[in-house]
Structure formats: C-alpha cells, structure tokens
C-alpha cells in the first residue's frame, strides 16, 4: 500500500523545504521528493556559493585598502583552491542545517525523480528502487536550469554555465561572459576582482534590465572604470575553438567583432525545469515553458500547486519561499494570496545594488504621477567611515500622497538596507512616516531617512546650492 501524506512536495529547494516546514507547523504530514540534495540551486549552486566567494573578495579588497587606514600589510595572494574550498564548506554547513531542520520537523525525504501519475499520486524513481505515494495535495517546486541560447559552439570544452563556474579548480586568465543580467554581472564582478580579464557581451542597450536605469548605468561606468570590458548592444553569433582557448564572434552596431578568451561563461538566465513531471498528460497548463498558477499558487488542476522558478516570473529564492508558504496555507484550507508589490531584488556586485517596488521607468510607463528624491552616500557619515561613498539611495513616491512606490540603493550593505523599503511599500507608508522614524546614528540606514526627507522639506545633510 502506498504511503499517505497530506502534502507531497516535488523539489527540496528554498521553495520546497520552506513549504514543507511551514506545513508541519500547521499540523500536516509531509513528504519531500528530491532528486539531488536539499537546498536546491540556491544553496548548492547559486546564491550561497556565489556569496561565499563574494565574501572572500570583500576581504581581499579590504586588505588592498588597509594602508588608507594606517594598517600596513603585504600584497595579498589568492589561493584559488582554498577560496573554493571555503565556499564548499559554507555550502555543506548550510545544506546540513537544512537537512537537520527537515528531519527535526518529521518530514519524510524520498530521494529520486518525481512524476505525477494523476492527482494525488506521485511516482518516485530512485537510484535503486521505484515507489508510489499518495498525497491529498501536491506542490511542484522543481526550480530551474541555466538557459542554453541557440549559439553554435556551446558544447565546446571551456564553455561554462553558471553551475560549472562554481566548480572550476583553476582561475582563468581571461573570460567572456555572455549576458549582462544579474548572474553575468555578479560573475563579472567576482572574476575581475580575482584578476581575470573579463569581457561582458550584452545584447540589450543596458545591463541589469530589472534594475532602475539610473543605478544600472552608474554600475556600468564603475565596472568599466575597474577594468571590466562591457559591450552593450552586442549579440553573440557563435563560439569557435582556437589553439589556446576560445573565440567569441559577435555583432554590434559597429559591425562584427571577435574576442578571444580562455573560458566562456554563458549567463543568459534560467528557464523552468519541468522534465519528467507528466504535466501535459494530467492537464496542468504550461505557458512558455512555465507552470501556470493563480494568485493562490494553484495550477489548472485542483489540489496541485506550483511555486518558485518552475512558475516563471520572479525567479528569486525568497519569492519561492514566500510562495511556498502561500501554497501550503491554501492547500490546508486557509485563504492566502500572493502579493508581488514589495519583492526586493539584489545584485551582489561591488558595490551592491538592491531594489524594491517600481523603477522610475516603470512608474513613467504606468503613467503614475511621482516624485524622485536622492541622497548620495558621499553625504553619509557612516559611509565615510567605511570608505565606501560611491552610491546613493533613490526613492520614488506617489506625488499626491507621498506613498512609497520604489526604493533603489547602490552602496555597501544595500541588500540588508532594502528591507526597510520593502516594509514601507507593503504597508503603504508615505515618505513622512519614514522620515519621522528615528534612525540610529551613525548608520547607513540614515540615508533612507534623508531620501524620505527629500520628498518633503528637504534632506538635512545634503548641501543644495541656492540660485
């Protein structure tokens, strides 16, 4: 007789395992079907390993700047193998932690590839056995895989995906990155800081399409100033082998071009992973490769839900986790709806960029009457003490009510600071509420308060020339 569960979750990434734990908190009997390791792409091949490497680079950059602060040290050396080993140690600790959490919550983990036979029934094909389970409700949380654009030469040795780039054991002397989105720019920042000669080829007129254009163009200038060769409006046509390394042929407004490099990293985004789920046979609607869901995270088949990257849309770990909680509550008879108004988006470049809510171009496109205020970090006492004054806080508010519509930050710890903006937008807080909230001094968060003041009578610590 098949094992029986209240909820079966196919995929144990940040959407799946969070959904599973939340479901047990609500009294459900839960199973996770996972084909590899718990934690999914984020913990094993994405956000966590890249941020572990970013931390190593932050230390490297701080050592190089130590002389400014009266601390004399020798020229730092990079031991790439040790750097990558540290990354693996961080990943292992976190994945082990997730495994312990799942076990402590009484969740059964069944390793293998899941297939939905029909509503309520999941077949799991493992390494040594095949089994079926019955579950009242099913949640699909299978994530995504790197996109493989139709570029001849992708199969050549030395052409890497973002997954591959985290497994290399030797630092390349030169690297061409295909794609100037979040993944491409983060890897460009990483490898450039480690001493690799980096070229980024982006087919669009701007890097980081989701980011407010003012900030993305500032970062473009900074990256170029720091030695990253970024070519916008450049479409990659093919990759060819050379005696040493690879040659990337591309086309731009200036005509055809060619760049040689030891390695090529294809960072053209990710696509939903639905292989082997049997979606078509059971009638689950799929649009442009993504599982279609409503605002309750339910698919076109009642009782079957989908969360995270497999649904397309906003492919972020924290969105998947929140969608998991929403799906579980609806599966167990509660009423929850997804709200995407306040989703923070972070780029772990140098400096960081973080955004939430509407960009200025989005506000303009929607015909919203808005006001923009800015506060430069060069006027922040805390940023000055950190020696990191390149950046700003940009706030977008509804002109009539002052309600916060968007917050965009470039600078140190932007990814931590953005939570205040997410909360303000979620609560519909006006700029005056933010400006009248006492912020600790000296902190970077004061820059948000000052930007809010800029929506009103004016920032206190910003010198404005009088005409």
Predicted TM-score of the model (pTM): 0.94
Confidence class for position 223, pLDDT limits 50, 70, 90: very high
Per-residue model confidence as pLDDT tens digits over 308-337: 999 998 999 999 999 999 999 999 999 999
pLDDT confidence of residue 12: 95
Instruction: Supply the residues annotated as catalytic.
Output: 441
pLDDT confidence of residue 43: 85
- Separation of alpha carbons 188 and 170, rounded Å: 16
Report the b/e string of 396-435 with b at 16+ CB within 10 A. Answer: bbbeeebbbbbbbbbbbbbbebbebbbebbeeebbbeebb
| Edge-first strand listing for the sheet containing 255-261 | 235-241, 246-252, 255-261
- Mean pLDDT across 251-280: 94
Helix (H) or strand (E) holding 373: strand 370-376
Task: Return the HEC string of 388-442.
Answer: CCCCEEEEEEECCCCEEEEEEEECCCHHHHHHHHHHHHHHCCEHHHHHCCCCCCC
pLDDT confidence of residue 364: 95
Confidence class for position 466, pLDDT limits 50, 70, 90: low
Percent of the chain with pLDDT strictly greater than 70 = 99
Per-residue model confidence as pLDDT tens digits over 20-36: 999 999 999 999 999 98
pLDDT confidence of residue 128: 79
pLDDT confidence of residue 120: 92
pLDDT confidence of residue 1: 67
The residues, ordered by sequence, that sit 6+ positions from 228 with a Cβ below 8 Å of its Cβ are: 188, 189, 192, 198, 199, 200
- Mean pLDDT across 33-54: 90
- Mean pLDDT across 358-384: 96
Residue 285 has pLDDT above 60, yes or no: yes
State the average pLDDT for the chain: 95
Per-residue model confidence as pLDDT tens digits over 98-156: 999 999 999 999 999 999 999 999 999 987 789 999 999 999 999 999 998 999 999 99
- Separation of alpha carbons 9 and 42, rounded Å: 17
- N residues, the chain: 467
CA dihedral (11, 13, 17, 23) positive or negative? negative
pLDDT confidence of residue 363: 96
Complete domains list, the chain, with CATH: 3-146+271-331 (3.50.50.60), 159-268 (3.50.50.60), 345-454 (3.30.390.30)
Per-residue model confidence as pLDDT tens digits over 406-434: 999 999 999 999 999 999 999 999 999 99
pLDDT confidence of residue 433: 97
pLDDT confidence of residue 395: 98
pLDDT confidence of residue 465: 64
Determine the 3-state secondary structure of 181 from DSSP.
Answer: coil
Residue 467 has pLDDT above 80, yes or no: no
């Amino acid at each position: 007789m098949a094992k029986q569960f209240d909820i079966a979750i196919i995929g144990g990434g940040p959407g799946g395992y969070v959904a599973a734990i939340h479901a047990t908190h609500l009294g459900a009997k839960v199973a996770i079907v996972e084909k590899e390791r718990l934690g999914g792409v984020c913990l094993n091949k994405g956000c966590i390993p890249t941020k572990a490497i970013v931390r190593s680079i932050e230390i490297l950059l701080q050592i190089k700047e130590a002389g400014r602060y009266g601390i004399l040290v020798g020229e730092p050396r990079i031991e790439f193998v040790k750097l990558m080993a540290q990354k693996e140690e961080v990943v292992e600790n976190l994945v082990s932690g997730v495994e312990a959490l799942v076990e402590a919550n009484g969740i059964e983990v069944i390793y293998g590839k899941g297939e939905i036979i029909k509503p309520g029934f999941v077949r799991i094909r493992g390494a040594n056995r095949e089994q079926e389970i019955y579950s009242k409700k099913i949640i699909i949380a299978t994530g995504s895989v790197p996109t493989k654009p139709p570029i001849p030469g992708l199969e050549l040795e030395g052409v890497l995906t973002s997954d591959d780039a985290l497994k290399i054991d030797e630092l390349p002397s030169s690297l061409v990155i295909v794609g100037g989105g979040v993944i491409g720019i983060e890897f460009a920042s990483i490898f450039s800081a480690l001493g690799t000669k980096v070229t980024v080829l982006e087919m669009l007129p701007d890097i980081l399409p989701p980011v407010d254009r003012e900030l993305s163009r500032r970062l473009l200038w900074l990256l170029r100033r720091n030695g990253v060769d970024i070519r916008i409006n450049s479409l990659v046509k093919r990759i060819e082998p050379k005696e040493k390394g690879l040659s990337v042929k591309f086309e731009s407004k200036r005509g055809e071009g060619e760049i040689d490099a030891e390695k090529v990293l294809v960072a053209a985004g990710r696509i939903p992973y639905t292989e082997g789920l049997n979606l078509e046979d059971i009638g689950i609607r799929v649009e442009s490769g993504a599982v279609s869901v409503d605002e309750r995270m339910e698919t076109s088949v009642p009782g079957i839900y989908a969360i995270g990257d497999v649904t397309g849309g906003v492919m972020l770990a924290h969105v998947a986790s929140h969608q998991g909680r929403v799906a579980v509550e609806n599966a167990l008879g509660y009423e929850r709806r997804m709200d995407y108004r306040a989703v923070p988006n972070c780029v772990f470049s140098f400096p960081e960029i973080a955004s939430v809510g509407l960009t200025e171009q989005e506000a303009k496109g929607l015909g919203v009457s808005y006001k923009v205020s800015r506060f430069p970090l060069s006027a922040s006492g805390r940023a000055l003490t950190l020696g990191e004054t390149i950046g700003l806080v940009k706030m977008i508010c509804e002109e009539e009510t002052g309600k916060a519509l968007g917050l965009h930050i470039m600078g140190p710890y932007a990814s931590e600071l953005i939570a205040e903006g997410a909360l303000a937008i979620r609560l519909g807080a006006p700029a005056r509420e933010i400006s009248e909230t006492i912020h600790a001094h000296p902190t970077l968060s004061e820059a948000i308060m000052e930007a809010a003041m800029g929506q009103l009578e004016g920032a206190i610590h910003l010198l404005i020339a009088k005409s």
